[in-house]
């Protein structure tokens, strides 16, 4: 088996935990992009730029440039925005509470009682939590079970003394302010349990692969663009920012783990088909051969409810071969979990591809 440059799993984990703890719902990704930019600025081999849309692009000149490549992963996550500052509700209590509109496929039952921040226009953060409208068991009895966990049935309770519209406005909160939910990162026995491993786990894998390649004095076989996307969760992240001369685009995003799925938390997965149809057969096969060659633990799978930034680029007219790889993530868009083994496998796969 040929050798790959060594990767540093500790760097991967630290990068990931730091990134997970930066709130970045789609549309509010500046700080997360800036974090990745700062990390990648350590490598003079990379030329960094931002797209007008706010994505980060790093290009690394390869040994050859006749068939440039791109890899993409996204820092934006699920979240919400303030939809309404409640002035009247079913109960007096509703005054000063906030209703929300979801960003991306946020599963509201999964964030019930979660701590959150409201990011105000003047740059402050107001603390609160998301609750069902009928939260008190001693007031609502069985109604607490019956209330739907949807946008109408849930509200943000601010940790501030507010009981009127004016009180909330005085905090600087307005309709349209971004809301981020606590990731609740926990590391146990090699497992990483956190919200938003989708897709910060893969951004960490790409950054770790770059570090390993640079530290070992290597360079990619072909000129490579690393596209750190900021609008993936709403479907159009990588529709811009991938240069037209790119021949191959490898999307690095989480693999769907659950009933009926091949993927698990200890392998990387090659996805050959999702809701957007089949990926590029030739590029998928090339990745499969690399994984075999370097003995990277991987699965091949199909994701039933899934779309990727690679497909966003295809839909935008991108004329490239697109493939999708990523670590198995349990309970996606919920309280997610993966294992270091899947992250290491994904990082090695990226490295093998870069050197191929
Ligand atoms: Zn994703």
Determine the 3-state secondary structure of 267 from DSSP: coil
Output the CA 172–ligand 1 centroid distance in Å: 32
pLDDT at 11: 98
Output the CA 126–ligand 1 centroid distance in Å: 27
pLDDT at 321: 98
User: Please, what's the b/e burial string for 236-261 (b: 16 or more CB within 10 A of its CB; e: otherwise)?
Assistant: bbbbbbbeeebebbbbbbbbbbeeeb
Mean pLDDT of the chain: 96
- Residue 90's CB is within 10 A of a number of other CB atoms, namely 9
Q: Dump pLDDT digits (tens) for 159-209.
A: 999 988 999 999 999 999 999 999 999 999 999 999 999 999 999 999 999
Q: Which residues surround ligand 1, an ion (CB under 5 A)?
A: 198-199, 253
Determine the 3-state secondary structure of 184 from DSSP: coil
Residue 110 to residue 102: CA distance in whole angstroms: 13
pLDDT at 91: 55
Output the CA 210–ligand 1 centroid distance in Å: 20
Task: Please tell me the pTM assigned to this model.
Answer: 0.97
Higher pLDDT, 88 or 39: 39
User: What residues contact 128, with CB distance under 8 A and at least 6 apart?
Assistant: 98, 115, 116, 117, 118, 156, 157, 158, 159, 160
Catalytic hit among 39, 155, 232, 311: 232
Q: Pick the closest to residue 5 from 325, 269, 251, 294 (CA basis).
A: 294
pLDDT at 87: 83
Above 80 in pLDDT, residue 88? no
Q: Pick the closest to residue 136 from 186, 179, 169, 94 (CA basis).
A: 94
Known active-site residue 232? yes
Q: Dump pLDDT digits (tens) for 197-248.
A: 999 999 999 999 999 999 999 999 999 999 999 999 999 999 999 999 999 9
Mean pLDDT on 9-13: 97
Q: Pick the closest to residue 302 from 322, 275, 328, 281 (CA basis).
A: 275
Residue 136 to residue 155: CA distance in whole angstroms: 13
Residue 307 to residue 83: CA distance in whole angstroms: 26
- Residue 63's CB is within 10 A of a number of other CB atoms, namely 11
Determine the 3-state secondary structure of 308 from DSSP: coil
Q: Pick the closest to residue 26 from 69, 97, 77 (CA basis).
A: 77
């Amino acid at each position: 088996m040929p050798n790959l440059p060594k990767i540093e799993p500790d760097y991967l984990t630290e990068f990931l935990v730091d990134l997970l703890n930066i709130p970045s719902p789609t549309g509010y990704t500046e700080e997360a992009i800036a974090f990745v930019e700062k990390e990648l600025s350590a490598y003079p081999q990379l030329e960094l730029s931002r797209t007008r849309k706010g994505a980060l692009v790093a290009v690394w000149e390869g040994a050859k440039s006749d068939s440039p490549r791109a890899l993409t992963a996204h820092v934006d996550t699920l979240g919400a925005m303030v939809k309404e500052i409640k002035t009247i509700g079913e109960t007096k209590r509703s005054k000063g509470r906030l209703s929300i509109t979801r960003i991306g496929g946020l599963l509201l039952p999964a964030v019930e009682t979660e701590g959150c921040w409201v990011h105000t226009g003047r740059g402050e953060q107001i603390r609160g939590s998301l609750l069902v409208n009928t939260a008190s068991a001693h007031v609502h009895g069985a109604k607490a079970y019956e209330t739907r966990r949807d946008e109408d049935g849930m509200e943000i309770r601010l940790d501030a003394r507010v009981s009127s519209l004016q009180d909330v406005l005085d905090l600087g909160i307005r309709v349209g302010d971004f809301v981020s939910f606590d990731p609740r990162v926990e590391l146990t026995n090699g497992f990483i349990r956190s919200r938003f491993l989708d897709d910060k786990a893969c951004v960490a894998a790409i950054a770790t692969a770059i570090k390993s390649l640079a530290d070992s004095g290597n360079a990619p076989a072909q000129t490579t663009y690393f596209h750190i996307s900021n609008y993936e969760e709403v479907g159009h992240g990588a529709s811009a920012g991938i240069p037209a001369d790119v021949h191959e685009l490898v999307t690095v995003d989480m693999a769907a783990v659950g009933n009926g799925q091949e993927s698990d938390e200890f392998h990387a997965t090659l996805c050959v088909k999702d809701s957007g149809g089949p990926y590029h057969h030739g590029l998928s096969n090339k990745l499969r051969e690399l994984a075999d060659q370097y003995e990277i633990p991987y699965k091949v799978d199909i994701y039933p409810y899934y779309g990727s930034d690679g497909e966003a680029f295809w839909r935008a007219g991108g004329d490239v071969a697109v493939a999708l790889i990523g670590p198995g993530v349990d309970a996606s868009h919920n309280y997610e979990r993966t294992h270091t083994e899947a992250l290491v496998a994904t990082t090695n796969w990226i490295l093998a591809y870069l050197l191929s």
